[in-house]
Amino acid sequence: MGNVVKVKTISRDHPFPNYAFLKTSGGLVFDCCSHDVDVQCWLTGEVPNEVYAMGTAIDQEVKAMNDFDTLEVLFKFPSGIMGSIDISRHSTCGYDQRIEVLGTKAVVFAENPKESTVILANSSGFTCDPAVYSFPARYKQAYSAELDHFADLISGVAKTPRLTHYDVRVNCIILHAIAESAQKGLPVKVKYD
């Protein structure tokens, strides 16, 4: 695909979480953005040196919690690669998580799995099922693989965890920079020292 130019992730929650959960979730940035930050860093092989985030709360109860229900995050990576995260608690088509990686020679897309592979095509167009309902259905295989890896670590089959202290530390630093940027409405340089 040539050189990576931009990485875009889209993560829209479904169903809208209950308010009791939202009050204890850590907020949209820490509850949901953490996964997109991991993906962005993994796909680029870098950590961003600058973030700019803009958020809003359409839902008045979320607004009263001083949180966001919709957020746009921009990353600038040291190599010049740009990243963007489009994240929201609102989705009308099921649990919506997609990735697009733009390169100098090609674009790679990772689309949503659907409830079925059936597509109806007629003179009105194409109709297909919505994306899977929620994150447990979307990530069934991933959760299984995580449990298998955990069991391998406990039993000694695997010696090194795939997720390291460094990974978690960097993710937290980036999340705090995103939260600061969203609150201030200004770009924030990310400092890892």
Query: Which residue from 128, 133, 104, 130 is spatially nearest to 118, judged by alpha carbons?
Result: 128
Beta 107-110 vs 96-103: how paired, if at all? antiparallel
Looking at residue 130, what is its pLDDT?
87
> Up-side HSE of residue 65: CA atoms within 13 Å toward CB?
21
Task: Map out the domains of the chain with their CATH numbers.
Answer: 4-113+164-186 (3.30.360.10)
Coil, strand or helix at 67: coil
Looking at residue 133, what is its pLDDT?
86
Q: Where are the alpha helices (DSSP H) in 18-139?
A: 19-24, 27-28, 34-44, 60-64, 135-138
Looking at residue 137, what is its pLDDT?
87
Query: Which residue from 82, 81, 89, 85 is spatially nearest to 98, judged by alpha carbons?
Result: 85
Q: Note the Cα 87 to chain centre separation in Å.
A: 7
Q: Is the pLDDT of residue 35 over 90?
A: yes
User: Average pLDDT of 1-15?
Assistant: 96
Looking at residue 113, what is its pLDDT?
87
Looking at residue 60, what is its pLDDT?
98
Provide the mean pLDDT of the chain: 95
How would residue 93 be classed by pLDDT, with cut points 50, 70 and 90? Answer: confident
User: Average pLDDT of 12-35?
Assistant: 95
Rounded percentage of the chain residues whose pLDDT exceeds 70:
100
Looking at residue 77, what is its pLDDT?
98
User: Average pLDDT of 50-72?
Assistant: 97
Can you give the pTM of this predicted structure? 0.91
